[in-house]
Structure 1
Amino acid sequence: MGVQVKGSTASRVTAIRSLRQVIALKRPSWRMWEEDRPFSPALLTPLLVIVLASVAALFTPHLEFYRLLGAAPALAAAMFSVAGTLGIGLLTLIAGFVISAADHTLERTPGIFTLITVAAVTLAAAYASQVRQHRERTLAEVRSVAETAQRVLLRPVPHHLGHIDVEVLYQAAAAQARIGGDFYEAQQTSHGVRLIIGDVRGKGLPAVEAASVVLSSFRVFVEDAPHLPDLAHRLETSISRYGEDVASDDALERFVTVLLVEIPAGEPIARLVNCGHPPPLLLHGGEVCEVEPSAPSPPLNMAALLGEQHYQVDTIPFGTGDSLLLYTDGVSETRDGIGTFYPLAQRVRRWALASPRQLLDHLHQDLRAYVHGTRDDDLAALVAHRVTPCDLESAELGGLRPLRSTGPDIG
């Protein structure tokens, strides 16, 4: 079955142009950032050092507390601008001059040496302040770009899509990052609500780029694809062509696990195509069931390597009040201090009757308490909850029926 994928290239070009335009508009003003910096009591520390050292030096001249005055401009470099640091240094010199004059040491070597030392420390502190400001400005710009990229690539998902409520949880592995190789999307189509969650093998910017290719292709084809296997095939073709265009061995070997879900409005069911992704959890009547695929489907960008493009559709009962928890391996493969994987199904059972937002909030807090040390993987989770009864929901859905394969396969 041939599939036209011309739209995939156009979607990538459009996404890149939009990203550049938004970045240009959202680039932060450094002057504004400085003006908006909130006041902190720590800003008074250099002045406190000047006052305490001066008082101690005047009352106990034999202990030579005036030698501590150089700490004031050094501290100022960590929190003030260059002008502010020089101002603190000037106040320090004045205090040193007054102390030397009071002790009658102004013309002696110790007093002169102290003033020279304070002046040298002030100049060094001013330079350090300039370097710090440059790094803070660079970090602020990088954060702004990352946040903008996240809004372009991982757009906010509507909380209500027809008969389905949707909530998401996302956290990048890097402490200062906003995006990573995990991704998700949910859209209302004529076929029902269609969802995707995926994970790119690897980390860093190459993983983000591969995720953007899959997401942009999903947004282009999600409405036109008549069924999930066809949609999976189009995504496979897009990521394969991306690897060929980049002409990189790493890009050619970078595979993507995805889970595609379709929830029609008129039937109490959900259809799933699992391409090497962790199985979702079905929450029904307070019970939690892991939905394993009835037959394996290859991850994206591996169909050619495996010599097959067979995408299996599984249908599960999904009635009013049921929820599907989709997640990446950053959730299920979180380890504790002894290396034990996070028992996701067991933990989620405690929150099976919670609302989607509450469920993800509980999950996030529990993961943070469970993990040992620093996270080394991105994580994403999405909950789809059916809230509106469908026309055919008169069938018995008291328990999970065996999964059955439906719909056409592409192979």
Structure 2
Amino acid sequence: MTVTAVADITAGPTVGLLPLVALGPAFAGLTGGPHRTAAIGAVALTLCLALGWYDGLFPGRRGTTALVSVAGVTAAGLVAAVMRRRREAELASVRSIAEVAQRVLLRPVPRTAGELSAAVSYTAAVAEARIGGDLYEVVTSPGGVRVIVGDVQGKGLDAVETAADVLGAFREAAHDEPDLTGVSARLERAMNRTLGGERFVTAVIAEIRQDRTMALLNYGHPSPLLLQADGTARFLDPEKRALPLGLGLHRTAGPEVLDTEFRPGDQLLLYTDGVTEARDRRGTFYPLASRLHLLKAKSPEDALDALHGDIVAHTGGPLGDDAAMLLLRYHAHTEPG
């Protein structure tokens, strides 16, 4: 508005710059609240009147048209500011509800579970939603520490509902079943009852035992990454791929148990395909295998923060899919009982 006033005084009334004063309340309505928009609109009307009298446009059609234009834009800016405030309040309410839903569905994992430290990182593809189709859980049972990381096929509320069903069944089975195969069989039966049509869930179920061994069952999910204390790393690929949960009605064989050692200083990273399938602007997938140095941070939380930041830097923007990571670290200072 200051630039318009200076230009109008310099150029004179013949150029017709007076209606540009309305840019002040127009931008105020886009960025400020109703009170600020009204205040700037009042300043704009006063400035329009002053410049109009200075240019000799009052009384006259040009001066009246400019004044009506400023008043109309101010009114429109006020309406826009009020509607934007209402939308912001609704969005804040939705985010608050989403946070509560996330805490119910995806409860914070325990920072320590037996001789393990645990940390989790979760990013929903829809930032406003806060929750999506990825799932994770850590349960301490008599048989050891049992964990699950999974990815529900599809998106939206249906995926969230399916994730809730999977987690509910896992939490119950992890406490009751004596071995990991019992947990998986019970989970498969529960999924066959609840999932319909072509819906399915890829998942990895793991059990870290007190004898420093680990068992894994992979239902069509990306292979976990084992980083050993000596710095060597390998993906725990199953010998035979199995169908995801929910497709067991096809009477195919379930996954075979993969047994391996899990000793002090070792780390286990479980993740969803939103991590490995994150692409940069050239379409290159995220090179997880070359980023293992990020897992050497002091704490599991710092390691996942560094890894998540590197994924975001790789994509150069929001992730295109939900991404969950669960890191288990065996205390290096712990000695056998």
Task: Please report the TM-score for the alignment, with normalisation by the length of structure 2.
Answer: 0.90
Distance change (3 Å), C-alpha of 1:192 and 1:124: same
| Equivalent residue for 1:201, pick from 143, 153, 174 | 153
Aligned equivalents of 2:71 and 2:319: distance in 1? 45
Aligned to 1:102: 54
What are the within-5 Å matches in structure 2 for residues 63-212 of structure 1?
Answer: 63-212=15-164
Distance change (3 Å), C-alpha of 1:303 and 1:140: same
Moved more, 274-283 or 382-391: 382-391
**Displacement after TM superposition at 1:386 (Å):** 0.8
Does structure 2 retain, via aligned residues, the 8 Å contact 1:232–1:311?
Answer: no
| Equivalent residue for 2:246, pick from 297, 301, 305 | 301
Does structure 1 retain, via aligned residues, the 8 Å contact 2:295–2:307?
Answer: no
**Displacement after TM superposition at 1:136 (Å):** 2.1
Unaligned runs of at least 5 residues, structure 2: none
**Displacement after TM superposition at 1:139 (Å):** 2.1
Aligned to 2:12: 61
Distance change (3 Å), C-alpha of 1:290 and 1:70: same
Aligned equivalents of 2:32 and 2:261: distance in 1? 62
Aligned equivalents of 1:347 and 1:255: distance in 2? 30
What are the within-5 Å matches in structure 2 for residues 263-274 of structure 1?
Answer: 263-265=208-210, 267-274=211-218
Letter in 1 for 2:107: R
Does structure 2 retain, via aligned residues, the 8 Å contact 1:229–1:311?
Answer: no
Distance change (3 Å), C-alpha of 1:102 and 1:342: closer
**Superposed CA offset, 1:324-345 (max 9, x none):** 1111111122234444433322
Aligned to 1:369: 313
1:359 maps onto 2:303 in alignment: yes
Aligned to 2:182: 230
**Superposed CA offset, 1:347-386 (max 9, x none):** 32x3454342333233223222333665321111111011
Does structure 1 retain, via aligned residues, the 8 Å contact 2:19–2:67?
Answer: no
Distance change (3 Å), C-alpha of 1:346 and 1:79: closer
Aligned to 1:29: none
Moved more, 354-363 or 150-159: 354-363
Aligned equivalents of 1:342 and 1:103: distance in 2? 64
Aligned equivalents of 1:287 and 1:78: distance in 2? 55
Alpha-carbon RMSD across the aligned residues, in angstroms, is 2.2
Aligned equivalents of 1:338 and 1:104: distance in 2? 61
Distance change (3 Å), C-alpha of 1:364 and 1:224: same
| Equivalent residue for 1:386, pick from 315, 324, 330 | 330
SS at match of 2:62: helix
Letter in 2 for 1:233: A
Distance change (3 Å), C-alpha of 1:339 and 1:81: closer
Distance change (3 Å), C-alpha of 1:85 and 1:373: closer
Does structure 2 retain, via aligned residues, the 8 Å contact 1:319–1:389?
Answer: no
How many residues align? The count is 333
Identity %: 41
Aligned equivalents of 1:52 and 1:152: distance in 2? 54
Does structure 2 retain, via aligned residues, the 8 Å contact 1:183–1:198?
Answer: yes
Does structure 1 retain, via aligned residues, the 8 Å contact 2:150–2:203?
Answer: yes
What are the within-5 Å matches in structure 2 for residues 311-350 of structure 1?
Answer: 311-348=255-292, 350=293
Aligned equivalents of 2:32 and 2:302: distance in 1? 42
Letter in 1 for 2:291: R
Aligned equivalents of 2:276 and 2:60: distance in 1? 71
Task: Please report the TM-score for the alignment, with normalisation by the length of structure 1.
Answer: 0.75
Distance change (3 Å), C-alpha of 1:180 and 1:55: same
Aligned equivalents of 2:153 and 2:201: distance in 1? 6
SS at match of 1:93: helix
Structure 1 stretches of at least 4 aligned residues deviating more than 4 Å after TM superposition: none
Does structure 1 retain, via aligned residues, the 8 Å contact 2:268–2:328?
Answer: yes
Letter in 1 for 2:303: L
Distance change (3 Å), C-alpha of 1:165 and 1:373: closer
